[in-house]
Chain A
Amino acid sequence: MIRSDNVASVIVGGGFYGARLALVLRARGGRVLLVERESTLLGRASLRNQARVHNGYHYPRSILTSLRSRLNYARFLTEYADCVDQSFAHYYAIARGSKVTAAQFTEFCRRIGAPLSAAPAAVGRLFNSSRIESVFEVRECAFDAVKLRERVTRELEAAGVELATETEATRITSRAGSSARVTLRRASKDTIVDADVVVNATYSRLNHLLASSGAAIIPAKHELTEMALIEPPPELGGAAVTVMDGPFFSMMPYPSRGLFTLSHVRYTPHCSWHDRAGDSIAMIDDPSRGRTSRHLHMVRDAERYLPAMRSARYVDSLWEVKTLMPRSEQDDSRPILLRRSDEHPACLTVLGAKIDSVYDVEEALTTMLPRESAVAVA
C-alpha cells in the first residue's frame, strides 16, 4: 500500500538484494519504499536458484573471486545461521580432461584456505573412475529461500520499510535537484512517488526499467535456465555433488522443498540473448512456457560420471531467467555491478550473481550515496 508520494528511497525489486538494500537505506534515515512485482518477496531469482552459498571452490581460475567468496561465506553463515542447511556432506569430483586437475584444485584450495579432504573411499567408489580423476569433501552449504524470505520480511517490517507488492515500477523521470519520480502501476492504476534515491534491483528486468525510462541500458546477457528438482539417489546419503570443471553438473539440497536441484552447464541454459542498445528488450513472464524439460538429459549425462544417478527421481523443474554481465563470462570472476544512470542520476542499478555477494553490493552502494543523507540517520 502506497501511503505517500514522497520518500527518501525507492527500491525496485523485492528479491534478496532489494530487501537488504532497503534495510541499508532505511538505516540511513527517511522513508523507504520497496516495490515488488510479484505477490511475495524473494519469489523469483532468489527462490528459483541453486541455493548454494559459495565458499570459493567454484572459481579455481579466479583466486580473487574465491577469496572474496570465502569472506562473504563466513559472514553469511554467521548472519543467517537459521536460514542455511549445513547438515549435508558436499563432494567435489574433478573430471578427467577438465580445465583443472586434482593436484591444481588441491593447491588452489590450500591457497584460499578452503577446507578440503579426500572423500571417503565408499563415496569415491560411486564415481566412474574412467571419467573422474579424484573426489574431495568440502564445506559448502545451501540456503533455505523460504526461511530467508520469512526472516527478511520480518526484518523489513521491524525496520519500518514500506512495502508495495504486486506493483511494478514502470518509469523513472528526473526532477529538479537530484531526485527522481517513479511511476508505479498496480492493477492497471498508476501512482507517482518522488524519491532522492531509486535503486533498480530488478535482476533480469533491469533493462526494462532503464529502457522505459529513456536511460541507457546495461549490456547484460540473459539465460533462460532450468534446474531439475529431484529426489537424489539413496546411495549418496543426502550429500551434494559437484562435478567440475568444464561441462559439469551439480546436485545440491534445496531446503525449502526438501528436494535437490540438479543443474548442468550444458542443459540448464535453454537459450541466451543479449540486451543491446537500440534493440527491443525481450520480456519473459513465464520462463517455462513452450519449453520441453531437459531433466532427462541432465540425469543421463550425470550417470556417465556417477552411475547411481540412474535412480534419481525427477519431481519438478525450477525455471528462471538468469542475468549476467557479458564480461564475467570471460574471466569467470562474477563481479557485481552498481551503476549510476547518466540520464537519471538518482537511479542506481545493481546486479549480482550470488546471494552472498550482497555484502559487496552494500559496500559499493554506501560509497555511492550522497554524504548529506547520512546526517539524517536517527
Chain B
Amino acid sequence: MNESLISVVAPLEGDTPEVVEAFVDETVAVLRTLVTHYEVILVDDGVPDGTVARVRALLERYDFVRFLRLSRHFGEETAIAAGLDVAIGDYVIVMLPNMDPPALIPEFLERARNEGDVVYGVRLHRKSEPFWYRAGARLFYWYINSVVRAGIPKDSTQFRCMSRQVVNAITQIRGPDQYLRLLTSYIGFRKHALPYAPINRSGAAIVRPKREAVHLARALVMDHTTHPLRTVSWIGVVLALFNFVVVAARNATGDTGGQIHDALAFLVIAVMLATLGEYVAGITNRLRDRPAYYVREEHTSSVLLREERKNVVGMTS
C-alpha cells in the first residue's frame, strides 16, 4: 500500500504566487502523511513572471516537485493533458490550485483504491458564481445530459483521482482538444462522484471569462456529439418544406408579400451554415494532426539540505 506512487497534476494559469505556494505547501504536507513516494506536477499554462520565480523557489524547498512550462497558454484542458502525459503515478490526482482543497486528497485516493477507477469531484454549491453563470451552467448540463446524453455529471469539476489504467486509457486518446470530463465519460471504467465544497484561495470571483465559458460549452458539446448538426439540418428540411408550401399557396392567390418568412428562412440557413462551419472547423483541426501542446522547459526539484549548506569550508583567499 505504501509502495504506490501518487501524482498530483495542477495546471497553473494566472495564479498568484501566494495561491500556488499555499497549494503546494498543503498538498505536500497531505501527501507526506499518505505515502513516501509522490510527485507534484505544476503545469505552467501562462502564469505571470513573478509566479514563475516563486515556483522555481518551491523546487528548492520541496523534493518531488516538477514544473512543466508549456510554450504558451494552451488552456486548462490541454495543460492537464500535458500533465497526465508526463505523470508517472499509480494514481493521478488532478487539482486546480485555487479551488480544490488538498485536505480531500486522502478521501479521493481511498475511494479510488477501494471503489473505482475514477473518483471525480462534484461541487456542493455554486454560490460564489453570478446568476448568469449559474443559469448558463444549468442550461449546459440540461442539454448535454438530457438531450445528447453525454454523461457529464452535473457540476463535476476537474478535481479527480484516476488509476494508472484510466490515465493510460485517456492519454492514448490524441486530439487537439482533450476534455478530461468528456474523456472520462467516454472511456468507461468504474466512476464515483465525491461532492465537496470548493475553496477560493485568491478571493477573486472564480468564474471563467464569459467568452471562455461559452467556448468551453460549445467545444464540450461538439467534441462529443453531432446532435446540433443533425438538429439544424432537420430544422432546415422542415422549413424548406414549409417554404415550398407557402410559396405555392402564395402563387395560387397572387400574393407577393412574404418578407417575414424570407427573413426566417435566411436566419435558419445562416444557423445551419454556422453549425456546419463549426464541425468543418473541428474536422480541419483534427486533420492538421499537430501536437496539442509544446513543452518549453521542465524543471525538477533540487533541494540542497540545510545541513549540507551549513557544512562548508570557508575560502581562505
A208 at the interface (CB under 8 A from B): yes
The answer on a CB contact under 8 Å between A211 and B304 is no
* A208 to B315 CA separation, bound complex (whole angstroms): 9
User: Contact flags (1/0) for B3-44 with A, using CB distance below 8 Å?
Assistant: 101000000000000000000000000000000110100000
The answer on a CB contact under 8 Å between B302 and A270 is yes
* A291 to B308 CA separation, bound complex (whole angstroms): 11
B89 at the interface (CB under 8 A from A): yes
The answer on a CB contact under 8 Å between A283 and B312 is yes
Which B residues are in CB contact (< 8 Å) with A130? 172
B49 at the interface (CB under 8 A from A): no
Q: Which residues of A contact B (CB under 8 A)?
A: 130, 208, 211-217, 247, 266-267, 269-273, 278-285, 289-292, 294, 296-297, 300-301, 303-304
Which A residues are in CB contact (< 8 Å) with B307? 289-290
The answer on a CB contact under 8 Å between A282 and B317 is no
Q: Is the interface of A mostly helix, strand, loop or mixed?
A: loop
Question: Contacts A290-B305, A294-B64 given; 5 further ones with Cβ under 8 A?
Answer: A212-B313, A214-B317, A266-B300, A280-B312, A294-B37
20 intermolecular pairs with C-beta atoms under 8 Å apart: A211-B314, A212-B313, A215-B317, A247-B298, A270-B63, A270-B301, A270-B302, A271-B304, A280-B314, A281-B315, A282-B308, A285-B311, A292-B36, A292-B63, A296-B5, A297-B5, A297-B64, A300-B89, A300-B90, A301-B88
Which B residues are in CB contact (< 8 Å) with A296? 3, 5, 36-37
Nearest neighbor of B35 in chain A, beta-carbon distance: A296
Given A270-B63, A300-B89, A304-B88, also A281-B313 (CB < 8 A): yes
Which A residues are in CB contact (< 8 Å) with B66? 266
The answer on a CB contact under 8 Å between B302 and A272 is yes
Nearest neighbor of A130 in chain B, beta-carbon distance: B172
Which A residues are in CB contact (< 8 Å) with B303? 270-271
B316 at the interface (CB under 8 A from A): yes
Which B residues are in CB contact (< 8 Å) with A279? 315
Nearest neighbor of A247 in chain B, beta-carbon distance: B298
B288 at the interface (CB under 8 A from A): no
* A300 to B87 CA separation, bound complex (whole angstroms): 9
* A296 to B3 CA separation, bound complex (whole angstroms): 8
Which B residues are in CB contact (< 8 Å) with A266? 66, 300
B296 at the interface (CB under 8 A from A): no
* A212 to B302 CA separation, bound complex (whole angstroms): 27
Which B residues are in CB contact (< 8 Å) with A301? 88
Q: Shortest beta-carbon distance, B41 to chain A, in Å? A: 12
Interface residues on B, range: 20 to 34
Q: Shortest beta-carbon distance, A77 to chain B, in Å? A: 35
Nearest neighbor of A215 in chain B, beta-carbon distance: B317
B211 at the interface (CB under 8 A from A): no
User: Contact flags (1/0) for B278-317 with A, using CB distance below 8 Å?
Assistant: 0000000000000000000010111111011101111111
* A278 to B316 CA separation, bound complex (whole angstroms): 10
Nearest neighbor of B39 in chain A, beta-carbon distance: A297
User: Which of B90, B298, B300, B315 interacts with A280 by CB under 8 Å?
Assistant: B315
Q: Which residues of B contact A (CB under 8 A)?
A: 3, 5, 36-37, 39, 63-64, 66, 88-90, 172, 298, 300-305, 307-309, 311-317
The CB with the most chain A CB atoms within 10 A, among B88, B305, B316, is that of B88
The answer on a CB contact under 8 Å between A211 and B316 is yes
The answer on a CB contact under 8 Å between B314 and A284 is no
* A283 to B172 CA separation, bound complex (whole angstroms): 46
User: Which of A216, A247, A284, A300 interacts with B5 by CB under 8 Å?
Assistant: A300
The answer on a CB contact under 8 Å between B172 and A281 is no
Q: Shortest beta-carbon distance, A313 to chain B, in Å? A: 11
Q: Shortest beta-carbon distance, B4 to chain A, in Å? A: 8
The CB with the most chain B CB atoms within 10 A, among A266, A271, A272, A282, is that of A271
Which A residues are in CB contact (< 8 Å) with B90? 300
The CB with the most chain A CB atoms within 10 A, among B5, B36, B39, B300, is that of B300
Which B residues are in CB contact (< 8 Å) with A281? 312-313, 315
Nearest neighbor of A267 in chain B, beta-carbon distance: B300
Which B residues are in CB contact (< 8 Å) with A280? 312-315
The answer on a CB contact under 8 Å between A212 and B88 is no
The answer on a CB contact under 8 Å between B311 and A282 is yes
* A296 to B317 CA separation, bound complex (whole angstroms): 44
* A266 to B41 CA separation, bound complex (whole angstroms): 13
Q: Shortest beta-carbon distance, A272 to chain B, in Å? A: 5
* A342 to B315 CA separation, bound complex (whole angstroms): 16
Which B residues are in CB contact (< 8 Å) with A284? 308, 311
* A247 to B63 CA separation, bound complex (whole angstroms): 18
Q: Shortest beta-carbon distance, B309 to chain A, in Å? A: 7
The answer on a CB contact under 8 Å between B302 and A211 is no
The answer on a CB contact under 8 Å between A297 and B88 is yes
* A267 to B308 CA separation, bound complex (whole angstroms): 19
The answer on a CB contact under 8 Å between B37 and A297 is yes
Q: Shortest beta-carbon distance, B135 to chain A, in Å? A: 43
* In the A-B complex, the 10 residue pairs with the closest CB atoms: A280-B312, A271-B302, A296-B37, A300-B88, A301-B88, A214-B317, A290-B305, A214-B316, A283-B311, A211-B315
The answer on a CB contact under 8 Å between B313 and A208 is yes
Q: Shortest beta-carbon distance, B33 to chain A, in Å? A: 14
* A376 to B44 CA separation, bound complex (whole angstroms): 64
* A292 to B308 CA separation, bound complex (whole angstroms): 15
* A290 to B309 CA separation, bound complex (whole angstroms): 13
The answer on a CB contact under 8 Å between B316 and A212 is yes
Nearest neighbor of B303 in chain A, beta-carbon distance: A271
* A2 to B44 CA separation, bound complex (whole angstroms): 59
Which A residues are in CB contact (< 8 Å) with B39? 297
* A267 to B39 CA separation, bound complex (whole angstroms): 11
* A213 to B89 CA separation, bound complex (whole angstroms): 48
Q: Shortest beta-carbon distance, B243 to chain A, in Å? A: 52
Which B residues are in CB contact (< 8 Å) with A271? 301-304
Which A residues are in CB contact (< 8 Å) with B88? 297, 300-301, 303-304
